[in-house]
């Protein structure tokens, strides 16, 4: 392999790993108001999550129109890596409030986690339509296009928009780094179809 190909592979791997870590680490989940009945505040240990999930499930069983309980349930499933259950809980929340950009984004992240990239993109794009300044959905659109769909030119578009909206924010340097890598990859011809000597 030549040096350019090795560099391309290393960058692709790093961006994929970084993107996956960041999607989970930068998530801006909407937390329920403190007045949500029956859902304890705090959290952290698996025992707390199990108890919170059980209590939230009990609340939504008795009051299926409790938006905050559905959101909390989705968030707890999200945090405990129960993607399908999170998707379903966020879906119930979105039935009650289809304009909640944070829930759309969190559900989109869960769609990404299970490999439903088209659904993830649809959620992030809907969040953008509802709130064109929603940074997390812009960020996640870039990640899906870069890491999962291997379309760096599309990632560039979303990350440039992110930096237009928040040029000095806490994640701006990280976005700049990812943007430069995406730009480099978008300009590099794909090595597919080339033969390499051992």
CATH of the domain at 86: 1.25.40.10
Whether 28 is in a domain gets the answer: yes
Give the global pTM: 0.73
- Which residue matches tokens 């829930």? 103
Whether 70 is in a domain gets the answer: yes
Whether 11 is in a domain gets the answer: yes
- DSSP code per residue over 115-137: T-HHHHHHHHHHHHHH-TT-HHH
Whether 195 is in a domain gets the answer: no
Whether 194 is in a domain gets the answer: no
Cβ(155)–Cβ(145) under 8 Å? Answer: yes
Range of the domain at 73: 3-187
Number of domains observed in the structure of the chain = 1
Whether 198 is in a domain gets the answer: no
Whether 161 is in a domain gets the answer: yes
User: Tens digit of pLDDT for each residue in 84-116?
Assistant: 999 999 999 999 999 999 999 999 999 999 999
Whether 129 is in a domain gets the answer: yes
Six-digit token pair at 176?
Answer: 């700049």
User: Tens digit of pLDDT for each residue in 50-90?
Assistant: 999 999 999 999 999 999 999 999 999 999 999 999 999 99
């Amino acid at each position: 392999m030549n040096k350019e190909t090795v560099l391309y592979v290393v960058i692709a791997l790093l961006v994929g790993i970084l993107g996956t870590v960041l999607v989970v680490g930068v998530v801006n989940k909407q937390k329920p108001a403190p007045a949500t009945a029956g859902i304890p505040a705090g959290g952290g240990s698996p025992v707390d999550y199990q108890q919170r999930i059980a209590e939230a499930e009990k609340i939504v069983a008795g009051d299926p129109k409790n938006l905050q309980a559905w959101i909390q349930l989705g968030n707890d499933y999200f945090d405990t890596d129960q993607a399908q259950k999170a998707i379903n809980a966020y879906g119930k929340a979105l039935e009650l409030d289809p304009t909640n950009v944070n829930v759309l984004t969190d559900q989109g992240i869960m769609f990404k986690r299970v490999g439903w990239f088209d659904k993830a993109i649809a959620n992030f794009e809907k969040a953008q339509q509802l709130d064109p300044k929603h940074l997390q959905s812009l960020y996640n659109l870039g990640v899906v296009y870069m890491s999962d769909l291997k379309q760096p030119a599309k990632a560039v578009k979303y990350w440039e928009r992110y930096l237009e909206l928040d040029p000095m924010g806490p994640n701006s340097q990280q976005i700049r780094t990812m943007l430069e890598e995406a730009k480099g990859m978008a300009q590099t011809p794909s090595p597919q179809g080339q033969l390499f000597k051992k």
